[in-house]
Every structure is written in C-alpha cells, then in structure tokens.
Amino acid sequence: MPRKKELPKKPKPTMEAWFEGAGSTQEESITDTLEKNYLPYAMSVIISRALPEIDGFKPSHRKLLYTMYKMGLLNGPRTKSANVVGQTMRLNPHGDQAIYETMVRLTRANECLLHPYVDSKGNFGKHYSRDMAFAASRYTEVKLAPIAETLFSEIDRETVDFVPNYDNTMQEPSLLPATFPSILVNANMGIAVSMASNICPFNLVELCETCIALMKDPAHDILSTLKGPDFPSGGYILHDEAELRRVYETGRGSIRLRSKWNYDKAAGCIEVTEIPYTTTLEQIKDKIAELVKNGKLREVSYARDEIDVNGFRLAIDIKRGTDPEKLMAKLFRMTPLQDSFGCNFNILIGNQPRVMGIREILEEWLAFREECVRRRVYFDLNKKRERLHLLEGLKKILLDIDKAIAIIRATAEEAQVVKNLMDGFSIDEIQAEYVAEIKLRHLNREYILNKIEDVDKLAEEIADMEDILANPKRIRKIIEKELKETAKKYGQPRKTMFLHVTEEEDIPIEDDTPDYPVHLFLTKEGYFKKITAQSLRMSGEQKVKEGDSIAQQFEATNRSELLFFTTKSQVYKCRAAVFEDGKASNLGDYIPVKLGFDEDELVVGMVMTNDYMGELVFIYENGKAAKVPLSAYETKTNRKKLTGAFSDKSPLVKLFHLMEEETPILLRSSGNRAILVDSSMIPEKTTRSTQGVNVMTLKSKQIVTSAEIPRGELLEIAESFRVKTIPAAGKLAKELADSQQLSLV
C-alpha cells in the first residue's frame, strides 16, 4: 500500500501569540452597532413596557391584574400584597419592588386613578405627596375592586388571544376585554425611547355616553357629551374650548388646572383642599417658601400641611390686611397651585405607536370591542351547538331505552360499548360517549324528557347567535347595553369642575415689587452694591477690596433691570430688587456667586435699563465694533440667562450703552495710535452675536487696548483724532500721553 502523505504539523500557539490575539478588536460601524444592539432594546421599551394599548393597560399592569384574577381575588378576601407580588413574578420577570410600585398606583388608597382596579387596606402613600411613602408589601393587603369584573367577565370565553409567558410555562392574555373604554378613564403616563405618552382621565358616565353617541352618529360633536377631563385630585379646569377641541382632534395640547381653595377669616389663613393632578404638596410648599425667602411673597407668613383622615388640606397663613383674592391670583401665577397637564395620546395599535385624537381612539376601541363581542358570541355558539348535538343523540335513545340497556348488557368488553351504541342508534362517537356516561339512576323516561326539552330552546338561541354574528348592528346594540350597565353601576359624579376665566381675571398681575431710588456700583473685580440715597448720604468712602476700584455706577430704582455681560459671551439678567440694600462700608455681593456663573466666568460689564431703549456698542481687540439694539435682549419670559450675548471671535475690550445716536468713542491701540469715531458710523445689526465691522486698522500682532467716551478736556484733545470713514489706522497718540489720568464719565 502506498504510504499516506503526511501533512505538515501546525505549530502550537505560544503564550505571546495568545496575549496578542486576546487584545485584538474588530472595527464595526456605529450604525451597525446601533442597529444590532440599540434598536431591539428601543423597540422592546416601546412595545413591551412604556406605552399603553387599546385596553388601557401597559404589560406590567395587565400581568399584575391577571395574576390577581387567577388567585381568586375578584370575589375572595384580601391577601397580603407580598403574595400577589410573588405570584406576579411568574409573568413579570422584574424585581418585586417594581411590581409592588405598579400595584400601589392601581390601588384605591393611593388616589392616583379615577376608578382604581385594586381594593386596598393599609398605607399605600398618596399620589399628591412626594414624601408620603407607602408601607412594605408584607404589611398591606389587596384584592380586586368590583370594577375589575368588567375586565375579566369574559376572559375565559376566547375573547382575546393568549400568549406564552417569558419562560413558556403558562399563558397570559395579550389584552383584557374591558366592557368600557378604560384607555380614557384612568390617567396613564409612559416614557419610551424617543417618544412618550400622557393620557388624561375622563368621567366614566360621559365617556360611555360619548361612545353610544358615536355608534349612532359618527359625526357626533364629542365636546357636547365629553365635557373635558376629570381628574381624581379634583380642582378646576380653566375652560378653553379651542384648546379642548385641539386636544380632542389631535391628541396633543395643554389643559390648565387650578386648585380649589377657601378663606378662613377667623383663622386668617387660606385653605387649599384640592390641587392640580400634576403637582404635589411638597412642590407647592417648597415654591412658596422660596418666594417668601426671596422677598417676592411678602403677604405669606407660613404654609403648613394639615392632611388628616378627612383628606387633603394645605393651610397658608397670610398677614393682616392682605386681600386673599389678589394673593391667590398671585400664587396661581407663581406656584404650582395652577399647573398644566400636557396631553400626548400616544397608544399602541397593533404594536404600532400612534398619536390619536379622542374620536380616533374611541373608534379603535369600538372596533376592538366589536371583535371581543363577536369572539364571545362565537364561543357561546359553539358551546350551544355541542350541547344541542349531545341532546339530539339522547333524543334518539329515548325512542327505545330498553334497547340501549340491552346493548350495554350484551357487550362483553367495555371498549366496545360506545361502538355498539353508535351502530344500534346511528349516532356518532361523541353522542354515544355522552349516552354511555349517563348514570344508571338517570336511565328513566322522566330524566331524558327533561333533558331534551332544551333542544328547541337551544335551537332558537343558536339561530339568534348566528344572526348576531351576521348583523354588525346587533353587535353594537350589545356594546351599547353593556356601556349603559357599566355607567349605571360604576359611574360617579364629576370631581373636576370647570372654571370660566374672564379676560379681566386673566390679565397679568401688576408688579408689587417695592420701588424706590437706589445707587448701583460695580467694581472691576465683579462686586456689586445697591445703596439707598439716604444711606449713601450718611456713608463715607466706598469700601472695596485691595487693588479693586469702582468701574461703573448708576442712579436707578429698585425695579430697574440689570444685565451682566460675562467673559463667556453670556448675559445674566435680574432686577435690582434681587440684591439686598447695602452700605458703602460693605464689600457688596460677588456677582459670579450671586447669579450662579459658570466656572471661570467673570463680569466684563453691566447695563442698567427700565425700558430696553438705546443701543449697545461692543469694541473688540481685533479692531471691530458691533452695534446692537438693547431691545434684542428683552424677553417675554423671565429668563435669567442668555447665551450668545455678543461675538466670541475676539476678546471684548469695552461695551457701551448709548442713548444718543452720535456719541464719540475714542479707541487706542497697542501701536500707540488712536481714532475718534462717531457711534453713528457703526451700522446697527439685529443679531446679538454679530462680529460687527472693522473700525480700526491694525498692524500685525497689534490690538485695541482701550475704548472710552471722552468728556471735557479729553474730548478737546481727542478731536484731532476724529475720522470721517472707517476703518482707519489713526494717528500716533502723543497728545494723549498726558491725558491718561483724566477722569471719564
């Protein structure tokens, strides 16, 4: 035999080669990584976690409620919450705390839902409190609330699909066949990836009436029956028909909510008994305390929590002589006692997120409900057909009971009984099996006659069900009947009332900040002082840090607006009232700390205004100048910080607030040259961050070192440096050498 050719042996990998391979990486596109790793996660969050479906539930809610139903908690006694949490983990592979928190929000005691699905006993916290924590699951008890019967009354009649749980050991429903549009009855909020959902609750009776009206007339005006949201926290909705219609049509919009209050004249306090659904007691108290501390709410002396067994109560002590109506108008404007609910009706329909208006949501729910009723009727129809089929076989046995007994007695083997009955009476195997299972005591004419009396009734019922399945109008009649029964049994009066705010009431409240003359001082290092005229007259020399000096000073009022420009091209806005009245003997407030500047950010200039009139002129080291109207820094909202306040392409040398169109500005360069230019020569720009135009021509490595508005003797000297066009290189500034120490205004 020829010898086999030996293959060369592969060398064994060395330890050095193994270490080299262990650290190797394979390049991969970021888009491929996102597609393989991130997109499946994002889809899972959207479809299986954060967004509700047409039955009104997220998967976590549905798994919990179905577990409680299977535990017999619909009609049975309460059980410890820990038991429910443990059983739910068979369907929900998350931690027990996450499951328990889901349960807490579904309970009656938490007051989060308009119609809670869980009847509870124990401390489950409160939706309106941030700090009122719920007790551990081993201490509390739960069962399903009566309204949960509408979710499970037909769950075992094949009305919805069942799917395997996460480990394929049991089945769970993909949806719950609720007999009312639960998607709009209880509030539901979820944050997914790149999208969110925020559904406000509506009154059950109004919603059922609207569904019935839509079935009769698809063009029905929804606002005529569904007046508006109804929140479990009560309070008022500031009625805005245009905004409500926008929410109803698009599924997006904002609904303004206001607290309910009354004035206790004897106690001298305002009692708030209902607050907006979107806020908490602690948020309101914290905001009131902040306003009082900052001197913006001088009428309030104290706000305290007086919640007891009778419910929510926030007491606000007010000072003597305060008008409670005006104070509440101010509190509504400045605190969460008036808040907004942002609607975003984003719902999963066929595993696809869709933002829908009320009409579209109800149409989708009616289609879902029609399918549930159709499947329920079909399930009952099959059961009755099976029952009729058995009774028809029993009817044949009635013709000769003795023959049936003889066949059974004559059969030697038990396995042949069914076959012999089939042959003897011409019945099928199912009918023969049913006859064979009849007890001996029931083999009498009376029993069989009683049984077959149902044959005609069953036939009529079967015909009726077949007609229902063939007639969509009859299916809608069933839905209408169920909606009326649900509304009658579980409906409750509206909790949130409507408040029609007149135009006069909605006018912004006048500013009540005390107004009086003050003197403002800003030092080069960023220290600020606000001193009253009386205090200034009684004071001596201005105290500043060693090496520091006063850079700017103004005569203003306590309501004057102040704009602090910084080294990072930002401007911080505030009122003079923000600062406490000081004395000349104090160093003052350090602006970067007082206004919360960014790290390493310093003040480069301050502007004082009462009306945002005039212009700002910025002089930069590169010889450019920009002119921007001060009105460009005025904002409708009370913004404290504006970015891009001026160009950051070159360091800022000086900024001026000019009220006159032709103001002379003297610029000096590091090349010992100077020019005097009128501000009118600099074109005005509307963009705050404009780089401006060239004003002074500079040689290489030269910069503008100073800019000032010359007055008196300095102005006379500077006239010889006046230029008629820009840019200009200027003249050598020998004449200005002796004028460096002149004071400038």
Using CA atoms of 258, 264, 268, 270 in order, give the dihedral in degrees to the nearest 10. Answer: -10
Give the range among 34-43, 481-490, 632-641, 692-701 with minimum mean pLDDT: 632-641
pLDDT of residue 339: 95
Residue 355 has pLDDT above 70, yes or no: yes
Other CB atoms within 10 Å distance of the CB of residue 560? 19
Range of the domain at 270: 260-336
Region 335-356: what's the mean pLDDT? 94
Residue 504 lies in a domain: no
542 and 579 in a single domain? The answer is yes
Confidence tier at 412 by pLDDT (50, 70, 90): confident
Of residues 659 and 282, more confidence is placed in 282
Residue 124 lies in a domain: yes
Other CB atoms within 10 Å distance of the CB of residue 472? 11
Pair of tokens at residue 631 = 């009105």
pLDDT of residue 504: 44
Among residues 336, 357, 379, the one where a domain terminates is 336
Residue 708 lies in a domain: yes
Catalytic annotation, pick one of 139, 166, 302, 516: 139
665 and 593 in a single domain? The answer is no
557 and 579 in a single domain? The answer is yes
Of residues 453 and 101, more confidence is placed in 101
pLDDT of residue 27: 78
Distance between CA atoms of residues 329 and 331, nearest Å? 6
Among residues 313, 336, 359, the one where a domain terminates is 336
Closest to 704 measured CA to CA, from 738, 663, 733, 664: 733
Distance between CA atoms of residues 567 and 593, nearest Å? 15
Pair of tokens at residue 479 = 């839905």
599 and 621 in a single domain? The answer is no
Distance from the first to the final alpha carbon of the chain: 116
Residue 502 has pLDDT above 70, yes or no: no
Our count of domains for the chain comes to 4
Confidence tier at 74 by pLDDT (50, 70, 90): very high
561 and 677 in a single domain? The answer is no
- Specify whether 139 is catalytic: yes
63 and 172 in a single domain? The answer is yes
Using CA atoms of 382, 157, 374, 186 in order, give the dihedral in degrees to the nearest 10. Answer: 170
Residue 112 lies in a domain: yes
What is the sign of the dihedral through the CA atoms of 685, 687, 693 and 696? positive
Spatial strand order in the sheet of 338-344 = 188-191, 196-199, 338-344, 252-258, 236-238, 497-499
As a whole number, the mean pLDDT across the chain is 88
* Alpha helix stretches (DSSP H) within 122-232: 149-152, 204-216, 222-225
Region 577-595: what's the mean pLDDT? 87
pLDDT of residue 127: 93
585 and 671 in a single domain? The answer is no
Give the range among 22-36, 623-637, 661-675 with minimum mean pLDDT: 22-36
Q: Which residue has the tokens 């080669």?
A: 17
Contact predicate 385/466, CB 8 Å:
no
Residue 118 has pLDDT above 90, yes or no: yes
Confidence tier at 741 by pLDDT (50, 70, 90): very low
Q: What is the CATH number of the domain that holds 95?
A: 3.90.199.10
What is the sign of the dihedral through the CA atoms of 622, 627, 632 and 638? positive
Residue 4 has pLDDT above 70, yes or no: no
- 708 pairs with which residues across the strands? 666
Report pTM: 0.70
Residue 638 lies in a domain: no
Region 243-262: what's the mean pLDDT? 95
Distance between CA atoms of residues 398 and 425, nearest Å? 10
Residue 55 has pLDDT above 90, yes or no: yes
Closest to 151 measured CA to CA, from 138, 140, 142, 160: 160
Region 634-638: what's the mean pLDDT? 76
What are the tens digits of pLDDT across the range 504-536? 454 455 556 677 889 999 999 999 999 888 888
Contacts of 333 (CB under 8 A, 6+ apart): 508, 509
Confidence tier at 2 by pLDDT (50, 70, 90): very low
68 and 123 in a single domain? The answer is yes
Alpha carbon distances (Å) from 37 to 27, 227, 352, 404, 605: 15, 46, 20, 69, 51
What is the sign of the dihedral through the CA atoms of 226, 230, 236 and 237? negative
Closest to 617 measured CA to CA, from 630, 601, 634: 630
Other CB atoms within 10 Å distance of the CB of residue 31? 8
593 and 684 in a single domain? The answer is no
267 and 285 in a single domain? The answer is yes
Of residues 173 and 41, more confidence is placed in 173
CB hemisphere CA count around 147 (13 angstroms)? 24
What are the tens digits of pLDDT across the range 130-160? 999 999 999 999 999 999 999 999 999 999 9
What are the tens digits of pLDDT across the range 547-571? 888 888 989 988 889 999 999 999 9
73 and 171 in a single domain? The answer is yes
Residue 22 lies in a domain: no
Contacts of the segment 448-457: beta carbons below 8 A, 24+ positions apart: 448/394, 448/397, 448/398, 448/401, 449/398, 451/391, 451/394, 452/391, 452/394, 452/395, 452/398, 454/387, 454/391, 455/388, 455/391, 455/392, 455/395
> At how many degrees (to 10) do helices 204-216 and 472-490 cross?
160
Residue 695 has pLDDT above 80, yes or no: yes
pLDDT of residue 394: 80
46 — alpha (psi -120 to 50), left (phi > 0) or beta? alpha
603 and 621 in a single domain? The answer is no
Among residues 158, 176, 194, the one where a domain terminates is 176
Q: Are strands 527-532 and 603-609 parallel, antiparallel or unpaired?
A: unpaired
